[in-house]
Structure 1
Amino acid sequence: MNPLERLSQERLDGRNRRMKSIIETAEKLFLVKGFEKTTMQDIADEEGIGVATVFRYFPRKEKLVVSVAVHIMEKKIAIFESVNNLDIPCIEKLDQMFDFFMSLNLSEFQNHTRLLDAFESYAALSEQPLEGIENYFAAINRTSKIFEAIIEQGKLDGSIRTDIEITEAFISITYAFASFSRKLTIFQSISITESGCEFEKQHKILKNIFLDYLRAK
């Protein structure tokens, strides 16, 4: 790499680091103040830069909001990919995938869950499609592709059923379980059953029902 190319790469790396830092700062503020009440000036002040710099990277706040949501999704995708890369049968991967969703009540994941729920409501109530929203949908699609790859493995290793539309069943079950996990995370301080069953028990019961349904007989 010649000096000019090296300088260009260093500038690109510096820009990427700054963009990531702004996104992470925005994520913290959005969690505390919400999307509506957090201003670009708030983010600039917290980041220790001029607000013009924030606008240079993100000309509209909506674009920054979407970037935060995508940033959170990418962290989840990295976990899904790590599970997919494990050298274990498909049904065991599904077990670990459900365990991940059960961990959403941990502090970091809990914050991510709250923000993604708030983001989806924010996007749904927006009069116009948010700038960059296609990147969020692309992240969701990447998640689906990973799930599909796990299922394809299961068809080959014989650990899951093949007498049903297994791909559709798994994706439906996964999103239902993930949604259930997210709701329990948000309302974890409220008992939602008359028996006062702990959330962990509810998770395990549902997980076992789903795994028994998907497992090869």
Structure 2
Amino acid sequence: MPSKRQENKQLQTDKIVEAAKELFTERGLNDVQMKDIAERAGAGVATVFRYFPKKDELIVEVAIRSLDAVEAEFRRIISLKASAFERLELLLDTLLDAQKAEHYKSARFREAFESYASFRTEPLPAIGRYLTRQRQIMDLLEPLIEDGQQDGSINGSIPAKPLIVTIINSYSSFTNNVALKSSISYLDRDIQPETQQQVLKKILLDYCRA
């Protein structure tokens, strides 16, 4: 059982991470200073630096935690008693739902984070933890992949693993992209993000269906 000191430390860490996530989502990663995060969290700047000596360490921690909801929902869906195809459809629905309400903040942050990380001349500190978490989430698909090879609900013209992983990665990237650019890129009512997301979902599922 954690001590009171450990509980207080966790609570303080959570407050700092949540404040950072809000600010990074509102302003972007480059324009937020540690003093801004301290003020939003109701903590001293020295306290924030004690928990996270570098801003990049805090950025990575926010990125890792942004995957929590995705992992929990993937676990729930994979464990359902349904065909591989039915569960795949539910996974795509989850990725689409991630663009709505509170989940949108996490998706928006992850998009900004991955862009930020890709332009770094050196790897972000602890980026390996983020990549490991992503791999762990993709590893959750193994039972679905095995079922897709056996239950006859998935198109067998392409091996189940590359087919399912490619569909999920492609749909996740696309839904994020059109949602985040909706205010500047899509003016025609007929091609709003929601329309495009549903069209791509149908295309992918129609191809994947046995």
Q: Verify same fold: TM over 0.5.
A: yes
Give yes or no for contact 1:91–1:154 (8 Å, CA) kept in 2.
yes
Give yes or no for contact 1:151–1:167 (8 Å, CA) kept in 2.
yes
- Rounded to whole Å, the distance in 1 between the matches of 2:100 and 2:73 is 15
Matching residue of 1:104: 98
- For residues 191 and 46 of structure 1, do their structure 2 counterparts lie closer, same or farther at Cα, with a shift above 3 Å needed? closer
Alpha-carbon RMSD: 2.0
Secondary structure at 1:44 match in 2:
helix
Matching residue of 2:181: 187
- TM-score for both structures, normalised by structure 2: 0.90
- For residues 34 and 203 of structure 1, do their structure 2 counterparts lie closer, same or farther at Cα, with a shift above 3 Å needed? closer
Q: 5+ residue gaps in structure 1?
A: 1-5
Secondary structure at 1:196 match in 2:
helix
Matching residue of 2:168: 174
- For residues 23 and 91 of structure 1, do their structure 2 counterparts lie closer, same or farther at Cα, with a shift above 3 Å needed? same
Runs of 4+ aligned structure 1 residues displaced above 6 Å come to none
Query: May I ask how many residue pairs the two structures share in their alignment?
Result: 210
1:73 and 2:79 correspond = no
Map 1:1-217 onto structure 2 (within 5 A): 9-189=3-183, 192=186, 196-216=190-210
Deviation at 1:162, TM superposition (A): 3.3
- Rounded to whole Å, the distance in 2 between the matches of 1:66 and 1:190 is 28
- For residues 61 and 82 of structure 1, do their structure 2 counterparts lie closer, same or farther at Cα, with a shift above 3 Å needed? same
Larger radius of gyration: 1
Secondary structure at 2:162 match in 1:
helix
- Rounded to whole Å, the distance in 2 between the matches of 1:18 and 1:10 is 12
Q: Deviations over 1:135-173 (max 9, x none)?
A: 110111012111233211222333223342110111112
- TM-score for both structures, normalised by structure 1: 0.88
- Rounded to whole Å, the distance in 2 between the matches of 1:193 and 1:126 is 33
Deviation at 1:110, TM superposition (A): 2.3
